[in-house]
């Protein structure tokens, strides 16, 4: 998929009804008040050559930046990159982090974040590359749940 296709998925999620319970969707996972779309996924890194991970991660970050620039043109400039380490620390101390933020914070180090517009939904974009034993993914979050 290219940036235009990724934007089409995000646009679709901004108008789609949220499911009543957590589960898989045609583009990722979802639950009451949120979607996490897996816009792009690497292939072969889970069992592949660890030396391929860094260049692949760089490619995914470049793709995220390209999609972010397009979203900036549509929705206005995103907030400063939002680090998720604080959420992981709070969860580690026993605080319950609401979804989708709890799941995303475990997988992504930082998110580009756009405030709700006429859809009433937040959009977040990040690269899931924290687990060296998993594939890298470009994730988009669409939610009506405020970041904690």
Can the peptide bond before residue 58 be classed as cis, meaning omega within 30 degrees of 0? no
pLDDT of residue 2: 83
Distance, in Å, from the CA atom of 112 to the CA atom of 97, rounded to the nearest integer, reads 19
**pLDDT at residue 145, rounded to an integer:** 97
Q: How far apart are CA 136 and CA 131, in angstroms?
A: 8
**Cα separations (Å) of 109 from 5, 11, 73, 83?**
24, 24, 24, 6
Are 89 and 100 a contacting pair, CB within 8 Å? no
Q: Which helix (H) or strand (E) holds 29?
A: strand 28-31
- Concatenate the DSSP letters of all residues of 36-62 into one string: EEEEEE-SSTTTS-GGGHHHHHHHHHH
Q: What is the pLDDT of residue 118?
A: 82
- Provide the pLDDT for residue 3: 87
pLDDT in tens, the chain (148 residues): 688 999 999 999 999 999 999 999 999 999 999 999 999 999 887 776 777 888 999 999 999 999 999 999 999 999 889 999 999 999 999 999 999 999 999 999 999 999 988 889 999 999 999 988 899 999 999 999 999 9
| Global pTM value | 0.94
């Amino acid at each position: 998929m290219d940036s235009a296709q990724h934007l089409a998925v995000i646009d679709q999620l901004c108008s789609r009804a949220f499911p009543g319970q957590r589960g898989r969707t045609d583009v990722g996972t979802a639950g009451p008040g949120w979607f996490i779309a897996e816009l792009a996924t690497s292939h072969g890194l889970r069992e592949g050559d660890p030396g391929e991970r860094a260049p692949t991660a760089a490619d995914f970050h470049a793709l995220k930046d390209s999609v972010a620039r397009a979203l900036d043109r549509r929705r206005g400039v995103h907030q400063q990159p939002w680090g998720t380490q604080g959420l992981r620390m709070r969860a580690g101390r026993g605080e319950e982090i609401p979804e989708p933020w709890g799941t995303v914070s475990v997988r992504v180090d930082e998110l580009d974040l756009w405030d709700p517009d006429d859809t009433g939904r937040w959009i977040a974009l990040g690269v899931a590359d924290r687990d060296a034993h998993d594939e890298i993914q470009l994730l988009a979050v669409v939610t009506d749940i405020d970041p904690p």
